[in-house]
Amino acid sequence: MDIEQLKKIIKLARGAVDNEPEPFKTEAFKISFSKLLEQELSEHNNKNTNQVEVTSINQNFIAEETDFDTRLSLFAQMCRLTLQELKDVFYIDEKLIYLICPLSGSEAEKQTLVSQCILTAYDLLFRKEWLEASQLMKCVDMSGIGQMDHFARNIRKKQIIRIRGKGKGKTLEYKITGIGRTQAFEIIHDLAKVYPHEN
């Protein structure tokens, strides 16, 4: 890897955490940089010419002309999955995104993890930076996570570094943060590998 490639990775990692408050910004940068560097080195070592480079993936997510199928494929690559593996984790259409694989943990933990994954998917696939609380709750509920009475409190516990909220009542909306998105890629990857598709 040459110095120019390293500079690009640093720039991408900084861009991913621009909106993060300190002291979380520094830690988020370290995580993002580490993941991007790991992916770049893996691609370089494998010499897989069919794999889209990390820099190209991020640029394609930003490009307005990128069609949905391309964004979906790039999303799968960011999670280090095949398209089929991603589809084994998510049900996705324009009106609803939810997880179709089982999760372990407490209801509060599952609600946080599922929310991270769903907010990331809406952000990258449909360019919805903010998602209405009612829509997010519907998606989480469809993912098989119960006890929604304490949903706002459960995801607010780690909201500063993973999920942000704004508004109140019917105007309440949530968005994924940079560190939350990076963690979501790993969560989705792990879910696909723990619960592989059976042919």
Kindly list the domain boundaries of the chain, sorted by start residue: 3-194
Burial degree of 187 (CB within 10 A; 0-12, 13-18, 19+): buried
What pLDDT does residue 117 have?
95
What pLDDT does residue 196 have?
56
What pLDDT does residue 94 have?
73
Closest to 17 measured CA to CA, from 172, 131, 188, 162: 162
Strand ranges (E), 28-152: 90-92, 97-99, 131-132
Element (H, E) at 156: helix 151-156
Tokens of 85: 């593996």
Per-residue pLDDT of the chain (199 residues; tens, 9 = 90+): 556 666 677 777 777 767 776 666 776 767 776 777 676 666 655 544 344 444 445 544 545 557 888 889 889 999 999 999 999 999 998 779 999 988 888 888 899 899 999 999 999 998 899 999 999 999 999 999 877 888 888 887 755 568 888 898 889 999 998 888 888 999 999 999 876 554 4
What pLDDT does residue 3 have?
64
Distances (CA, A) of 3 to 7, 8, 9, 63: 6, 9, 10, 25
What pLDDT does residue 55 have?
44
| Residues sharing a CB contact under 8 Å with residue 101, sequence separation 6 or more, in sequence order | 88, 89, 191, 192, 194, 195
Lookup result for tokens 């390293």: 6
